[in-house]
Amino acid sequence: MQARPLLLLTLMLLWPWPAASDPPGGGATPLRVQLMWHHQAEFAGLYVAEVRRHFARAGLDVELIEGALGTDSLAALRAGKADIAVAWLDAAMDSQSAAAPVSNIAQIFDGSSLLLLCRVSAGIYTPADLAGASIGVWNLGDEQAVRSMLRGLDIPLDSVDLVPQRADGIDLVDATLPCVTALTYNEYWRILAQGVEARDLLIIRPDELGVEHVENGLYVLTERLDDPAFHAALVRFLRALREGWREAQSAPTLAVAAIRHFAPDADPEHQRLMLESVSELIPPPERFGLLDLERYDRVSRMRLLDGETEPQPPVWTHSVWNTLRQADGHDGLLTPATAHYADWLVKQPAFRAFVLLGVLTFALSGLLEAVNRGYDFWGRLILAALSGLGGGTLRDFLIGAERLPLFYVVEPVFPLSILALVVITSVIVARFRNIHETRSFKRVKTWSDVIGFSVLAVVGAQVAIAADMPWFWVPVCAALTCAGGGMLRDIVINREPRTFQGEIYEEAAMVGALVLVAGLVVAKHFEHTALPVYLSGAAAIGAVLLIRVLVQSLGLRYPTAFLGPAQGTTHRPS
């Protein structure tokens, strides 16, 4: 009697219920999907989306083409036997050709399941023992990961033989090979089930050696993305697949039933075990399908280290994912590609040097204020630190936990540089007491301040963008980065901030931030090049610099009438 509810649920899942939005007259768009392997839990989301008619409701007639050992899904794609191929990134990069380029339109697995399994009883006690061994691979992209692992272990590639292996880890079970590649959700469990004891296995994971391995993604012929109808079909396919995986994760019993609909002879317990492992690789719905470009870049750099002579052309596009996010009502200020390039820019050593210059310029203004007021060394250090780091501190507190711990805690070069500035300046002032009052010194300080201000304004804007803040907070963070330190300094010395009394200061930072935002919005349309992002940053710095130069050279201020009864004069509290 207890089996009846489960049977009823299974029948409800598999019964071909009519879909309210199925296209009339069989007008569904056909899509053929080439799998890498036999029908199994690795592709559970596809089966659930098909059986539950998510594809049909999306106006798609999807055919899932089973793979097997030796199946090259990308070759089938190029031969016109499939419209979509499930493949690994390394395989796509290895087979990329100018004649028929392919593009990753969605990344399904958000992690790696690849393992290198070796039998201790075969004499592989440590990773160093791989030298001279034979390793079984599938040549689906796993061989590239193995080469990178060997490089990380300082093992010469010519000392190891990579040979094709049989299915289900049999070569390791019968001791034909001492090592084979395996997947956490499949071969690993099969090898244990066939009698190999866990204590007899040496498990080597690529990520522990700094090797990035990007697995199941969806690939199409790049030229077909120019067809609006095909592109729209891919968006609908990705949305339906996302729902299929969501249901597969939340209802594993029904997912196993869907798997067995395509593979009646599959062991349900093994499929359930596989599904548990695979589910850990599926990203949450808001990130489903997104190829992480940081992971992609790590794979590209790793391949160059492994002997590639030049960088690979792009093997991806976010256009399908971006369109899906827009349809979901989550069209952000920047695309993931633009945000990636912007984040990469601010991490470059040259850019960090400009940031340090800006911090030290602001710190110098606070330090000279302390010197003029006759402060001791500690007072000078406090005012210098407040002026140089205060704005960034206020900005980061505004953004929140994402910017904690504070940047100068993580990078001690900032406080140490301010300390060195205070020491050196104090020595110089002690030796040449009036040097900070000379015209040459003031001119250098003024223009250093202009340059430092321009850089820090854009840095503040970039930090806000990287934190995914709403666009209208970007100019606020830019202004706060530049003026916040000075305001804190003025509070400490009991002086009203001069920028509140008619001086055009924060406004320049806000204009530069808006120029940056506008440039990055334009850069969204160029996903395979970072040049528009760099030009946007340069334009923003140039805009701030221009305004500051004009203000400094022409003595521009707010109109006296705008400042009210005080006529712009400085008011000091009693």
**How do beta strands 201-204 and 114-119 pair?**
antiparallel
d(CA 50, CA 55) in angstroms, rounded, equals: 6
What's the pLDDT score for residue 435? 73
Q: Check residue 48 and report its DSSP letter.
A: H
Distance CA 157, CA 149 (A): 10
At 177 the pLDDT is 96
Beta bridge partners, 32, equal: 63
Structure confidence at residue 568 (pLDDT): 46
Low-confidence stretches of the chain (pLDDT beneath 50): 1-8, 11, 16-25, 568-574
Helix/strand/coil for 59: coil
Length of the chain (residues): 574
Helical spans, DSSP H, in 131-215: 142-152, 170-173, 187-193
With b for 16 or more beta-carbon neighbours within 10 A and e for fewer, the 176-187 pattern comes to: ebbbbbbbbbbb
Neighbouring residues of 552: CB distance < 8 A, sequence distance ≥ 6: 446, 450
Evaluate whether 244 touches 52 at the Cβ level (below 8 Å).
Answer: yes
Buried b / exposed e across 311-328, counting CB within 10 Å, b at 16+? eeebbbbbbbbbbbbeee
Contact between residue 457 and residue 544 where contact means Cβ atoms under 8 Å apart: yes
Q: What is the pLDDT of residue 281?
A: 95
Pair of tokens at residue 244: 């299929």
| Sign of the CA dihedral with 144 first, then 145, 151, and 153 last | negative
Domains of the chain: 3-109+215-327 (3.40.190.10), 114-209 (3.40.190.10), 336-563 (no CATH)
Distance CA 103, CA 217 (A): 10
The number of beta carbons lying within 10 Å of the beta carbon of residue 71 is: 19
Q: How far is CA 334 from CA 306, 340, 471, 474, in A?
A: 33, 10, 10, 13
pLDDT tens, position by position, 186-216: 999 999 999 999 999 999 999 889 899 999 9
CA end-to-end distance (rounded Å), the chain: 89
Distance from C-alpha of 170 to C-alpha of 177, rounded to nearest angstrom: 9
Question: Residue 432 burial (CB < 10 Å; 0-12/13-18/19+)?
Answer: exposed
Helix (H) or strand (E) holding 339: helix 336-346
SS3 97: coil
Class of residue 478 by CB neighbours under 10 A (exposed 0-12, middle 13-18, buried 19+): buried
User: What local confidence, expressed as pLDDT, does residue 13 receive?
Assistant: 52
Distance CA 387, CA 359 (A): 8
pLDDT at 20: 38
Give the pLDDT confidence score for residue 564 in this predicted structure. Answer: 65
Provide the token pair at 241: 């697949």
- C-alpha 549/C-alpha 555 separation (Å) is 9
Q: CA-CA distance, 193 to 197, in Å (whole number)?
A: 9
User: In angstroms, rounded to a whole number, what is the distance separating the alpha carbons of residues 359 and 421?
Assistant: 11
Strands (E), 196-287: 201-204, 217-221
Question: 405: cis peptide before it, omega within 30°?
Answer: yes
Adjacent-strand bridge partners of 61: 30
Q: What is the pTM of this model?
A: 0.84
- pLDDT score at 561: 63
CA dist 318 → 170, 184, 209, 290, 331 (Å): 39, 28, 29, 7, 13
pLDDT value of position 109:
97
pLDDT value at position 424?
Answer: 93
